[in-house]
Amino acid sequence: MNAPSNLKYTKSDEWFDPASGAAGITDYAQSQLSDIVFVEILVEEGEDVEVGKPIASVESVKASAEIYSPAAGKVSAVNKGLSDAPETLNTDPFGEGWMIKVEGGAAGEVMDAAEYEKYCEGRSH
């Protein structure tokens, strides 16, 4: 399991980059979902998001999951490429798999990488 140390993490398996405002789903989340076949971003550029508000819907061959915003603020960018290449979430969740960028907002209740790794280990037993 991969969890870059510069990112923050939520209990519902989203990551947030305080430096760039980018957000997405974690490596743990994509591996649990298995092959992701559909991504729908539910918010648009310029829209305000709140912590815990659904920002995207992700479907794998087994399950569908809502993705919640790890931060509050204005959406400054949406990764439109994901709808044509949903598998990017499996291959590069922390890079090309970013979902939205949130501007000028504060993160909600988040963990650092070490805490998140421990949290995930606790769940896999």
Partner 1 sequence: MTYIPISPAERDAMLKTVGVKSLDDLFDAVPAKHRFPKLDLPPALTEMEAAAHLADMASSNENVREHLISFLGAGAYNHYVPSVVDHMLRRGEFYTAYTPYQPEISQGTLQAIFEYQSLMTNLTGMDVSNASHYDGATATAEAVNLAYAQFRGKRRKIVISPTVHPQYREVIRTYSQGMGLEEAGDDPSADLEVGPEALTSLIDENTMLVIVQYPDFFGRIHDYTKLIEDAHAKGSLVCIVANPTALIMLKSPGDMGADIVVGEAQPFGIPLWYGGPYLGFFTTRKSYVHKMAGRLVGETVDNRGQRSYVLTLTAREQHIKRERATSNICTNQGLLALASAVYMSTLGKQGLQEVANLCYQKAHYAAGELSKIDGFGLCFMEPFFHEFVLCTPKPAGEVNQYLLDNGILGGYDLSKDYPALQNHILVAVTEMNSKDEIDTLVEVLKEM
Residues within the interface to partner 1 (CB under 8 A): 38, 40, 42, 59, 62-64, 66
Least separation in angstroms between CB 19 and partner 1: 30
Query: Between 42 and 111, whose beta carbon lies closer to partner 1?
Result: 42
Query: Between 73 and 86, whose beta carbon lies closer to partner 1?
Result: 86
Least separation in angstroms between CB 64 and partner 1: 5
Buried b / exposed e over 77-98, threshold 16 CB at 10 Å, is ebbeebeeebebbbeebbeebb
Indicate the pairing of strand 54-60 with strand 73-78.
Answer: unpaired
Query: Between 19 and 80, whose beta carbon lies closer to partner 1?
Result: 80
Least separation in angstroms between CB 76 and partner 1: 21
Which two structure tokens, joined as six digits, stand for 6?
A: 């510069």
User: Rounded CA gap, 2 and 31, in Å?
Assistant: 11
